[in-house]
Structure 1
Amino acid sequence: MNQLSEKTSGNQVASLFSLTEKVIVVTGGTGILGGSFCQGICEAGGRVVLLGRNREVGEERTEQLRQAGGDVLFIQADVLNEDELNQACEEVLQTYGRIDGLVNGAGGNIPQAVIGPDQDIFQVNLPALRQAFDLNLYGTILPTVVFGRHLTEKGGSIVNISSMAAQTAITRVLGYSMAKAAVDNFTRWMSVELAQRYGDKIRMNAIAPGFFVTHQNRRLLTNEDGTYTARGEAVIRNTPYKRFGEPDELIGTLIWLLSDASRFVSGEVICVDGGFHIFSGV
């Protein structure tokens, strides 16, 4: 048996994708996509630290995951509050003694920052625009600097959440688009800096989801009766799969990026979008 086959024989391939006993912090864990992330990590054997602002949803989700056999810790925290993040980090270390991964899942658009088709483009709501920008960019940077430093001890993986809005121009969501484009840049920049300082111990990548119906975009994409809005129809028309994504369709990519299976992958933005970003519409 040659060297390559020895490294990949038996159960070694399956073990590459295992998150057994890895402690993974998930911000935005009370959201729709964040909840799916937490479930997938638990099913892969990981220990989930579920961070979110909504205590009621967080505690309910934690109980559901525990009943299904998951090892979950909920901590109420705002990703834009550094003091709360530092307190959360201390609680994680006191509980588990380590941090192996971080998923920067917190984010989303701000309704007041949406620029309607009839709105004066030179009269945008700048405070709302800044709020959307801060939530998505600094809501990624702050958890990284707070939790990420503890990955330097034993190594690990950081996964950011990008967007189709960072891949091409999407109307109405200027603040969100700028922030997600900055997240892509941060992902690439930070991956290089981490490698230069810590070698191959820490990697950072991003997932760019296609269109998934969440709390933030539901009214933009669907009507109250469940039919598509004109914007929703345009998305479907420009998605080769002709449908929105399901939250659990992000799990495979997430587990790959968090696990040892991606240990030579860093600085990448992986699109999970049913082909949206590569389709010309023709």
Structure 2
Amino acid sequence: MLPFGALVIVVMALRKHPMTSIDTVGSYLDQMDIPAWRFFPMVGSTNDMALNWAKQGAPDWTLVVADAQTTGRGRAGRHWITEPGCALAFSLVFRLSPDEVAYYARLAALGGLGLIYALEGLGLRGSLKWPNDVLLSGAKVGGVLVESSWLADQLEAAVIGIGVNVSFGSVPPAEELRYPAIDIQSALGEPVDRWSLLAQIVHGLRKYRNILAEDAFVAACNQYLSWRDEWVRFQRPGEQPQRVRIIGIMSDGRLSVETQDDRKFDVLNGEIIMRDD
């Protein structure tokens, strides 16, 4: 059952943004060379739907997309509500090849690079905020969540979930945000078609998945990395924030940083809190 607070938010949003019909979305999805797709006017979590479908045998590049998402989640279990008509919420099933499995840690960056590719098509410069966000003009425009389906110790499928703030109304009130956020329409100064944007993100994902196992992929991550060679406040789980300089993203997806006393280390878990000028 939908939590009362989420239900109120969605009902209010529906008054401003009527839900999109499957016919509208289907005409775009049929042109994306997607082997299987499902569209939901409203869903709890597209990642949950994609994971369940993966367990039932959904093929590589299967897509689940929703107009509204009521119990979406981000990194560290944070909740995210996608209101209808103003954002993108979708998940893709990846059946990784044996060669790709070794680079599973790169999938969050892959999702980010796919979105950055689409932003560049609109004339906007996005950047990767390690480990799983995309920034536009220094504010969060999208996020990535990677989850998996396992059979014993064998990876069955990976699911890449991507959420994008597309138009007015997709950014929550400032008091609900942990980090400044922005929508593409505000940055661009004109409306953006969500489904054309989705097609471009998928195109970008295909481009960068083709080089997932190559050094060129890591080079692309560092090319778009936010605050590279700059000082930020960084916090690892259970520790106090500290001031570090970002060196770059390593081949295994870890972030390499340097402290003020010249100590260098690589981190797998943690969060960049803000730029530290």
What is the TM-score of this pair, normalised by structure 2?
Answer: 0.31
Larger RCO (alpha carbons 8 Å, 6+ apart): 1
Report the structure, 1 or 2, having the larger helix content. Answer: 1
What is the TM-score of this pair, normalised by structure 1?
Answer: 0.30
Report the structure, 1 or 2, having the larger strand content. Answer: 2
Which structure has the bigger radius of gyration?
1
